[in-house]
Every structure is written in C-alpha cells, then in structure tokens.
Amino acid sequence: MVKSAPNMISGNTALAGLGLRRGLLEDFKNIELGDIDFFEVAPENWLNMGGRFGRAFRECAERFPVYLHGLSLNIGGFAPLDTQLINQIRGFMDEFDCTLYSEHLTYCADEGHLYDLMPIPFTEEAVKHVAARVRQTQDILGRRILLENASYYAAPGQQMSESEFICAVAAEADCDLLLDVNNIYVNSINHCYDPYAFLAALPAQRIRYIHIAGHYHEAEDLRIDTHGADVIDPVWSLLDAAYDKAGALPTLLERDFNFPPMARLLEEVAQIRRAQARVQAVLTEQGG
C-alpha cells in the first residue's frame, strides 16, 4: 500500500523549518528547540555518511524531525530508475523516521549525471512517462512522494502550460506536490505569466509542503533561482496567497550559500511563522 505523505507532526500543520547545509552545521548546534520545527536535507548528500559530518547530522536528527528533498532521482529521464538509490532512501527514512520525501519535477541524467535540473517538455507523452516513474518510485518506497514545481529557463516542445503539466502529472501518478513559491515568482518573470493565476490553477488538496527562498535579479526580465539571498516581499506575498489556498502547511526556508548570520535566517523562519499565524487566525475567526 502507498501511504499518503503526512502534512503534520503531532497534529500541527503550521511548522517552519530550515535547510541543513554543511556550511551551517556549526550554527545548527546552537539552534534552540523551538527556533525551528524541522530541518531538511538532500538524502544523497548524507547516505552512509560517517566521520564528523555523520555525527553532526545524527545530533541534529536527534533534536529535530528530518524532511528529505532529493536531487538525483531523475524522475523525468529515460535511463532506468535508480532502484538502489530509492531503496537506500527508504532505509534512510526508516532509520531517521523521516515523514516526507520530495523530488524535483525535472530530469538530471543522460548516460551520466548532468549535475543540473533540466526542464521536462510540457507534453501529454511526458505526463505519462513521468507518472509511470513516479508510481514505480512510490511502490518501492511504500508511500507517496511530493514533486516540486521547478524553476526553468527554457520550455522545449511545450504543448500545455506549466500548471496544466503539473496538474496532469500529479493526477496521473496520484502523488502530492511540494509548492515552491520562489520558483513560481522566478518563472512568472522569466516566462511572463501571472503567478497568482498559476497558484490558483494548482490542486490545493495535493499540496502538502512549501518552500520559500531568495533568488538573483539578473535583469528586469530574468531572475535566477539561486537560494543565495534573502526572500523578497513579492515572494512573501505569494506565500500568503499559498496559505490562503492550501492552509498553513509546513514550510521550509532554503538557503544554499552566501549564508548570513544564523540570527538572520531564524528571523526569516519567524516571518514564516507569522504568516502561518495570520491565516490560522483568519480560519479560526471564520470557524467561530
């Protein structure tokens, strides 16, 4: 049986987390319980990790719940799925009691790893191809996975819109969605669409988890998804809209490099919590 990915821990959906990167390991040691509710890692970077990095990861995992966000499943590729990797991830999830595993709706390999996340053509043929690979992955894991709306800079062979493609894959595969609000904003600039209309087109019932991050302003018509800067106001506004649509779901702050002081990152995590509290207050008032 394929289990649905949970969207809560201890009955609370309004959770705020921070991505664990090796450059933040020392800072993570000083994070207090209550500063974050969970952390996220790419499992490929930590599988079978020993030494001081392995010990540091285990210390973090003893203090906070762990979410997983994969980088190399190659869900849209044509090479056979790496079932050894999937089984390793299943073991990792069992060992560390990970409640959630997500991947990018991209491909990243072709007779070798490309070390980049490449866009899948938005076609009916691609929908069926990707959905079959998602179902195979879910069967091995014994649980649903989440697919993330990815940033992209070209749309080869496009026959449907990005939102139509995402909806079709999720329905065909019967999987859940990780909503990256920064990617929505970046893509809306680069591909000239309304980010709020895009958000409205997605199925709220499949959204289980949210990412928020910063990006690089290359030009007025070009944004680069870097995860190397503070979150900007238009992206915070999109997060508010995402909560209005799907509820105050668990939300992760991503920061991959150019790290500010931990206090600054925790302030952005606190801003996530304030946004969650706002929508929860509204829902409580409506319910009362």
Average pLDDT, the chain: 92
Angle at 203 between CA 121 and CA 174, to 5 degrees: 70
CATH number where 186 lies: 3.20.20.150
Residue 120 placed within a domain: yes
**pLDDT at res. 12:** 56
In the prediction, which pLDDT does 168 show?
98
In a domain, 4, yes or no: no
- Is 1 contained in some domain? no
Q: Quote the pLDDT of residue 4.
A: 53
Quick: pLDDT tens for 112-122: 555 567 889 99
The model's pTM: 0.92
Closest alpha carbon to 184 in 202, 169, 199: 199
Q: Is residue 207 part of a domain?
A: yes
Task: With respect to residue 21, please indicate whether it lies within any of the assigned structural domains.
Answer: yes
- Does some domain include residue 235? yes
**Domain enclosing residue 155, as ranges:** 16-287
Interval 139-160: pLDDT, tens: 999 999 999 999 999 888 899 9
Query: Is the distance from CB of 150 to CB of 105 less than 8 angstroms?
Result: yes
Q: Which of 80, 69, 150, 149 is nearest to 110 (CA)?
A: 80
* Per-residue pLDDT tens digits for 268-287: 999 999 999 999 998 788 87
Backbone torsions φ then ψ of 258, nearest 5 degrees: 50, 50
Can you tell me the mean pLDDT for 69-78?
A: 91
Query: How many domains does the chain contain in total?
Result: 1
pLDDT of 173: 98
* 7 found inside a domain: no
Helix (H, G, I), strand (E, B) or coil at 179: strand
pLDDT greater than 60 at residue 46? yes
- Mean pLDDT over 72-94 rounds to 94
Better-scored residue on pLDDT, 78 or 201: 201
90 lies in a domain?
yes
